[in-house]
Amino acid sequence: MFTWVLEFFVPTIILMSVVVFVHEWGHFWVARRNNVKVEDFAIGFGPELFGFSDKKGTRWAFRLVPLGGYIKMLGDADATSATADDAIITKLTEEERKQTLHAKTPWQRIQVAAGGPLANFVFAIVAMIGLFAVFGEPITPPVIGFVDPAGVGAKHGLQENDRIVEINHEKIHSFENMLPFIRSGKHEVLSIKLERAKKQVQLNIPLTLKDKETGEIQKIKVLGIKPNPSKEYKEVSFGAAVQTAFSTFWGMCKTIVVGLGELLTGQRKGDELGGILAIGDMASQSAKLGVAGMLWFMIIMSINLGLINLFPIPVLDGGQMLMTSIEWVIGKPLPEKIQKYIFGSGFALVISLMLYSTWNDIVRFNVIQKIYSLFQIVRGWLPL
């Protein structure tokens, strides 16, 4: 149990706290620049564990449940900053009201909402430049670390630890090199040359599937494989590190957006979504790879957090930017009832996705079976 805490729980808390801090600091920094008073800057939720107050009255605190974080500004009804608390606003002086987010212009509020994602993006790019310049450009070797038994890859012979050498007669140098062949929709069959136990193996994997009921031919954009978590590094100059950081950032953004689009349109399975356990597993694997591995994990999570928060879903930053933009265009806020309905719907959607991804984690990591095994062990210790 103690080993699990050290290898899984601790890296997850530390690495995710850094990413969350960057995001919330972006909101905080822009809010302060617009003369908005920030009352709370919290990492985690629930009761405060420890913290301090700065000279401007902001309480900086670590809280009991380390899953996320928030800043709360003067006059906010809750940590989302989506609505004002009228009971608080009416008790403020005229000068204090000017320091609330809701007293600011639509453009200023949009800036504050965009500050979090922007900070994540800046952090990711700067961290990549440092990583590439010091350690080299990280490359995920084309080695299979996991094969879904129900996936197309497993059905046609792919195995864990296979190293992909060629696809359709083109050399493969990284796992990322494989993605265009799989997801572009241009190929009906992948001719794969791989190394397995120091021997070369040739496989042909079709990327089409015939529907048993309709007979319709469907294209497949996933093989049901995941890369080995290890990294290889290619030395680059500082100039190349800067250029590569920006191109890698853009490529990762495109990959995330395309992947989510494929999930929404049913081209990829929903069970690929991962929750906190999947993130924890990634953090644990990254920690084992040292400083470079941990930094790369934070870069990936920072880009994901920033990009997802820009989606126009109420309760997310992008949703608040959209709502504020509508207010700006029509010259007044939407009716309170409509706002509550919109934000309630957005909250329900986000919670549903969290529950769904958590269920995927429970199935993926055999949580129920592990809890049952632990119960049996504990039961064996008890006197009968």
What's the rounded mean pLDDT across residues 187-204?
A: 90
Q: Can you say whether residue 258 is alpha, beta or left, with left for phi > 0 and alpha for psi between -120 and 50 degrees? A: alpha
pLDDT > 90: percent of the chain: 40
* Helices 290-309 and 238-264, packing angle to 10 deg: 50
- How high is the pLDDT of residue 83? 76
Give the pLDDT of residue 18: 93
Highest mean pLDDT among 22-26, 67-71, 309-313, 327-331: 22-26
pLDDT value for 221: 78
Which of residues 238 and 288 earns the better pLDDT score? Answer: 238
Task: Compute the average pLDDT of residues 298-302.
Answer: 93
State the chain's mean pLDDT as an integer.
85
- Give residue 9's pLDDT: 77
- pLDDT (0 to 100) of residue 288: 80
Q: What is the CA radius of gyration of the chain?
A: 24
Rounded Cα–Cα distance for residues 231 and 250 (Å)? 20
- Please give the average per-residue pLDDT across 127-135, as a whole number: 94
- How sure is the predictor about 127, in pLDDT bands with cuts at 50, 70 and 90? very high
Give the pLDDT confidence score for residue 278 in this predicted structure: 77
pLDDT of residue 264: 74
What pLDDT is stored for residue 224 in this prediction?
A: 85
**Does residue 223 or residue 245 have the better pLDDT?**
245
User: How many Å apart are CA 306 and CA 124, to the nearest integer?
Assistant: 10
CATH class of the structural domain 141-230: mainly beta
DSSP labels, 252-312: HHHHHHHHHHHHHTTSS-GGG---HHHHHHHHHHHHHTHHHHHHHHHHHHHHHHHHHHTSS
Q: Would you place residue 128 in the very low, low, confident or very high pLDDT band (cuts 50, 70, 90)?
A: very high
Please check the confidence at residue 85 and state whether its pLDDT lies above 80: no
Most confident range, picked from 178-192, 222-236, 289-303: 289-303
- Please give the pLDDT value at position 65: 86
Return the domain boundaries, the chain.
104-139+231-384, 141-230
The pLDDT-based confidence of 380 (bands split at 50, 70, 90) is: low
Q: Which helix (H) or strand (E) holds 383?
A: none
Task: Assess whether pLDDT exceeds 50 at residue 14.
Answer: yes
pLDDT of 60 over the 70 cut? yes
**What confidence category does residue 384 fall into, taking pLDDT thresholds of 50, 70 and 90?**
very low
How large is the average pLDDT for residues 31-40? 94
Mean pLDDT of 153-171: 91
Kindly give, in sequence order, each residue whose CB lies less than 8 Å from that of residue 252, ignoring residues fewer than 6 positions away: 300, 303
Average pLDDT over residues 356-379: 65
pLDDT at 335: 85
Please provide the DSSP assignment of 26-75 as one string.
HHHHHHHHTTPPEEEEEEEEEEEEEEEE-TTS-EEEEEEEEEEEEEEETT
Closest CA to 17 of 255, 294, 253: 294
